[in-house]
Structure 1
């Protein structure tokens, strides 16, 4: 259903960056603080990889001057990543929604000021780089392999890691949930062998509400892809999903649809990656 598309997004503030230095310090301190919380007992190499190169925002600013609106989008993407990391770092309070025979699992918890969030955890027989290429570099092709997504379009790119997108979700079977669309700011990062795709809903003057669609909101949401500890050729794939579908829809239906959407996404992504691997073999 609406979704899968990584609707990484949620509430936005349009306070334009007044001071680049202050913004840089605030964003980096906040992200480093949350990354520190993530490094609990046990292996946390992917956390240290992010921390070692967490000066991305400052490097972007030095590369090229951005206007106030572009800086606002960059800040929103960084905030989505920070909030998502904070949520994922807290292992308490998660309730199991669905567990598949292959071990795929969807869990949920209710958070103040956000509401119910869902977390998909799966193990995929792919390297993180391959998945990053499909989900980020080929983002606009998602509608070709994910039946829950009608279309994904990149409206604007800002630097190397930030983009504004428009996603149109396919109708659910029986039209239980009518057509929804989302305008999102996304932050895509690669830190060592770990990849991130985070985001939240935003406003974009070039994409007003569309006829026949309800403009829903999402976020913070985030996909984290890191190598499995047991087999570096496999990926521990985690997807945090938070959606406000708007309109009048019973919560029981929303919970069922969103958790099933995440399970379906894992299935469709596996099929897509298998097809890519087959095509590569045939090309050799």
Structure 2
């Protein structure tokens, strides 16, 4: 029911400036440099968070030759900022309270974040290699509704380069998201936030919830590379669909249910060829 989503309507600049190739490349460089500066200014994170934050800027991989439109650059910046903010929240170990712990070790923590409210953090170990989880959660995200009963549909509306997509998710509520994926070394981060998309305006009678920022972090379990540590940061606003007290009561169980559905799906279906 609750997958990552987020919100932004891009600004504009003078048309003759927007059409200049050099300035577009400069804009991409400036975004990456600014995000790097912000990431380095945050609290001291754990080793894997530190690695992810250092490598999650636009300059973490070689820039493609493709020239992005103004709207695409806005989505790129939005996804990068959501990733940095989510990793910043995860990097802080203070203030987390245990909400739910299962016999198998699955744990849900929560904390209150200024300007965001209550956020939830799922920590699980999945008995599958990281490549398998990446395949299911990124490459096959549109098939999630087939194994997760809380999701009716996920549809990719637009791809932006290799690491950004705009998605529409349908559950008890609808979500529109920009998703940012970074795979650097042994760590993979899947981040997202609510967005605006001109070809998918809000529809009368359908509540559009908002997430953000949220992210999943995948990394091999230390000493057991055939297993994966999965961390899921979840922040959600259902826009009046349910009282917040009710939402907070079910969110931790929703995350636990997701882990159980994911494990069941991975165990019952053959592993596809890794394309990572």
- Compute the TM-score of the two structures, normalised by the length of structure 1: 0.84
| Contact 1:11–1:202 (CA under 8 A) maintained in structure 2 | yes
Instruction: Look up the match of 1:174.
Output: none
Instruction: Look up the match of 2:164.
Output: 162
| Contact 1:38–1:85 (CA under 8 A) maintained in structure 2 | no
Unaligned runs of 5+ residues in structure 2 are none
| Contact 2:9–2:196 (CA under 8 A) maintained in structure 1 | no
* Secondary structure of 2:152's aligned partner: strand
1:139 pairs with 2:132: no
In structure 2, the CA distance between the partners of 1:38 and 1:16, relative to structure 1 (3 Å rule), is: farther
Q: CA deviation at 1:256?
A: 1.4
Q: What is the aligned length? A: 263
Residue 48 of structure 1 is aligned with which of 51, 55, 62?
51
Instruction: Look up the match of 2:84.
Output: 82
1:29-69 CA distances to partner (integer Å, 9 max, x unpaired)?
4246436757646xx25643663574447844x42011111
* Secondary structure of 2:259's aligned partner: helix
| Contact 1:122–1:238 (CA under 8 A) maintained in structure 2 | yes
1:235 pairs with 2:228: yes
* Secondary structure of 2:146's aligned partner: helix
Q: Distance in 2 between matches of 1:31 and 1:148?
A: 36
Q: CA deviation at 1:230?
A: 2.9
1:12 pairs with 2:8: yes
Instruction: Look up the match of 2:75.
Output: 73
1:258 pairs with 2:251: yes
1:150 pairs with 2:155: no
Residue 103 of structure 2 is aligned with which of 84, 101, 104?
101
1:185-233 CA distances to partner (integer Å, 9 max, x unpaired)?
0001111121111010000111122354211111100000001113111
Q: Distance in 1 between matches of 2:12 and 2:136?
A: 32
1:154-210 CA distances to partner (integer Å, 9 max, x unpaired)?
0000110101000001xxxxxxxxx31000000011111211110100001111223
Q: Distance in 2 between matches of 1:119 and 1:49?
A: 17
- Compute the TM-score of the two structures, normalised by the length of structure 2: 0.87
Residue 244 of structure 1 is aligned with which of 232, 237, 255?
237
Unaligned runs of 5+ residues in structure 1 are 170-178
Residue 223 of structure 1 is aligned with which of 216, 223, 230?
216
CA RMSD of aligned residues (A): 2.4
In structure 2, the CA distance between the partners of 1:54 and 1:251, relative to structure 1 (3 Å rule), is: closer
